Amino acid sequence: MTIVNFNYDRCITHYLHEAIKDYYHIKEDVVTNLMKKLKIIHPYGCVGDLPWQQPGKGSIPFGGSQYSKLLDIIPKIKTFSESTKDEEELTELRNCLIEAEIIVFLGFAFHRQNLELLNPDKKCRARKVYATALGMSESDCFDVKASVFSILGGIKNNAVFEIRNDLKCGQLFREYWRSLSTGV
């Protein structure tokens, strides 16, 4: 599984680590090893590693306010207008999309620059695509669907493609939990 996070923060990383540990009553070191198998790509950089990701190596606790490390973080952040120029990272990101069978867009907003950044220039294997577009008009959802369809190389003809403008992220997971968890 891969997460492409267009935000600088580590909220999803922190949340998953804590939620898995609490829900399954798993020890910290076991969850940490599981989380290291999860690929998280930050095309615009990240504000730093969490302590469990890099123990003792300049990590910053979630919610931490260690401003002394701010200068260490600055080079890791790219602004929206800078985008990423790292070809290796772009190739990895795009290959993840090509190989994905299920793609989920959460709170993505579908900015053209971010869509272009995702563009693998090859047909994706995705059988299912789900997306939140809370508050977006039906006509804009139609345009977004066409743009995503184009970027993903047309995906398979029988692919499920749901863009929901009436659901928040958590609601989307509740609505499609079976399809997302079983892959069918």
Per-residue pLDDT of the chain (184 residues; tens, 9 = 90+): 899 998 888 889 999 999 999 999 999 999 999 999 999 998 888 888 888 887 766 677 787 666 556 666 666 677 656 656 678 888 899 999 999 989 999 999 899 888 888 888 888 888 899 999 999 999 999 999 989 888 887 665 667 889 999 999 999 999 999 988 876 5
Under DSSP, is residue 167 helix (H, G, I), strand (E, B) or coil?
A: coil
> Where does the chain have alpha helices with state H?
11-24, 28-35, 70-73, 87-99, 112-118, 138-151, 169-175, 177-182
88-137 pLDDT, tens per residue? 888 899 999 999 989 999 999 899 888 888 888 888 888 899 999 999 99
Determine the Cα–Cα distance for residues 14 and 32; give it in Å rounded to an integer.
Answer: 11
Q: For residue 130, what are the β-bridge partners?
A: 104, 162
Looking up tokens 């095309």, which residue turns up?
Answer: 43
Its pTM stands at: 0.82
Cβ atoms 155, 122 nearer than 8 A: no
Q: Which residues have CB under 8 Å from 141's CB, separation 6+?
A: 133, 163, 165
What integer pLDDT is reported at residue 67 of this predicted model? 56
Tell me the two tokens of residue 156: 């398979």
